[in-house]
Amino acid sequence: MGATVDWLRTTTPGLLVLCGLAIAVLLFGIIKVKLEPFIALLLTGLGLALAAGLPVSKIVGTAIKSGDSLLETGFGGILGHIAVIIGLGTVLGAILERSGGADVLTGKLLGVFGEKGAPVAMGLLGLIFGIPVFFDIGIFVLAPLIYVAAKRGGRSLVLYAMPMLAGLSMTHAFLPPHPGPVALGGLLGVSLGWLIIMGFICGIPGFIAAGIVWGTYIGKRVQVEVPTEFLVRPEVEPAGKGEGPGTATDPETVRTEARPPAVGLIGGIIAIPLVLILGATFGTQWLDKSSRLLQVLTFLGTPAVALLIAVLVAFYLLGVRRGSSVQELSTLTAESLKPVGMLLLVVGAGAFFGKVISATGIGTALADTMSAAGLPVIVLAYIISCGLRIAQGSATVAIVTTGGIVAPLVTGHGYSQMAIALIAMAIAAGSIILSHVNDGGFWIISKYFNLTVKQTLQTWTVLETVLSVVSFAVAAVLFAIVG
């Protein structure tokens, strides 16, 4: 027994077995036992640390001091990096949605592309509006607009929905301030500026292939009607019926309908954090380190500061100037932040799990195995992420778990920021492959777009796989050039 334990803790095959068993237990807890990913990740991380023989003082600290423990540094390190960003990104998305920004963008895009180009317009709508808005919230907000466009065009709902979903999925997987890319920035030590650049470079070809090419192809072959009841916005009641947010008597609803914001204003607010973050990234490359301009760009381009500026601008231009009170904006902020808590706990627990993996030496063992097999790190990252995604369904869990496993193979190995960003893109691409019945998003899409399970597999599942494979292919080619 003692020899077996020593083999598991001290040899490369033993450490790999421990890692494999830990991941299997994690998936069993999430899939079969139906544990919340936060609880499953925390339990598995603690179990792996004990099984690997790590000292208790290193795992959880002591009764007097625990600040240096794996538990606190695992959670605190990543949450200190992403909590503010995700919170501000959520608030920005909420004010853009409440102001009627989605309706404005839809009308403008349909006006530019016309009825025949409506699917492309819907794809661009998902792409643009998906930058500041979480994936599921984007579906809730944009679905009624898709219904109207499909009814007006007289063609299958699939033809209009798939491009929009591809845009939302691409931004959610590859671009900050969404939780997956932001978490990867902290786990792999890569700037969000590089993640934005590589996210667009790798994600846009995938979006075109999945949303425009595949979406148009399958939209002509899977016929889905728009039910009459889908054309009524459930959150807006007829005048005189109901009170409060989302009803016709809500002052915010009245203001949105009476004075919709300009499309240039919506686009400008969405662009503010992207421009500021990219300004800091390029300034670091081009300006002298002692330059005062670089200090200004670095401060303004810090993701938290950039998003805070965008939120304040949105509060004033889309809120105060349009008649909203500070109290109304505070209520909107509080409501929008309610779903963020569990998301942050999952990301923190995933980072702790990765920290344990790193502390056990499994990362070094994986590096040795990979070198012997001749498997590039970017391919390994993609395969691990794909496996986790297919097995348990959550893209966020797949990203943070894979990031923790791959981090020891990346940090301190001389990779450039661009190369590390491409590895992050491979992880992100793997995290969205083959969405099926264990993915909550699968059922949201099935419900909101009147699809049977078979039709959802034919359309959405294939779309996600095309987006994943094409985006990874672009990342792999670029990595082969620069890595």
Q: Which own/partner contact pairs does 28-33 have at CB distance under 8 Å and 24+ positions apart?
A: 30/392, 30/393, 30/394, 30/397, 31/391, 31/392, 31/393, 31/438
Rounded-to-integer distance, Cα 436 and Cα 453, Å: 9
Helix (H, G, I), strand (E, B) or coil at 32: coil
**b vs e for 72-92, b when ≥16 Cβ sit within 10 Å of the residue's Cβ?**
bbbbbebbebbbbbbbbbbbb
Residue type, 388: L
Give residue 226's region: left, alpha or beta (phi > 0; psi -120 to 50): beta
What 30-39 contacts at long range (C-beta under 8 Å, 24+ apart), as own/partner pairs, is 30/392, 30/393, 30/394, 30/397, 31/391, 31/392, 31/393, 31/438, 36/342, 36/346, 37/346, 37/349, 37/350, 37/392, 37/394, 37/396, 37/397, 38/342, 38/345, 38/346, 38/348, 38/349, 39/349
User: How many residues does this entry show for the chain?
Assistant: 483
Alpha-carbon distance of 318 to 8, in angstroms, equals 59
The pLDDT tens digits for 225-281 are 887 766 644 443 333 344 443 343 344 443 444 578 888 898 899 889 888 988 887
Picking from 150, 174, 72, the residue whose alpha carbon sits closest to that of residue 430 is 174
pLDDT at 62: 83
Torsion of CA 416, 367, 354, 413, to 10 degrees: -20
- Residue ranges in the chain whose pLDDT is less than 70: 1, 81, 229-258, 363-373, 483
Name the helix (H) or strand (E) containing 370. helix 362-373
- Tell me the residue type at 286: W
pLDDT of residue 368: 60
* pLDDT value for 243: 41
Sign of the CA dihedral with 264 first, then 270, 274, and 277 last:
positive
**The overall pTM is greater than 0.95:** no
Query: How far is residue 148's CA from residue 158's CA, in Å, rounded to a whole number?
Result: 13
- Contact call for residues 166 and 207 (beta carbons, < 8 A): yes
Using alpha carbons, list the distances in angstroms from residue 455 to 144, 219, 223. Answer: 20, 11, 9
Measured CA to CA, the distance from residue 442 to residue 467 in angstroms comes to 15
| Nearest of 355, 409, 361 to residue 382 by alpha carbon | 409
pLDDT, position 15: 82
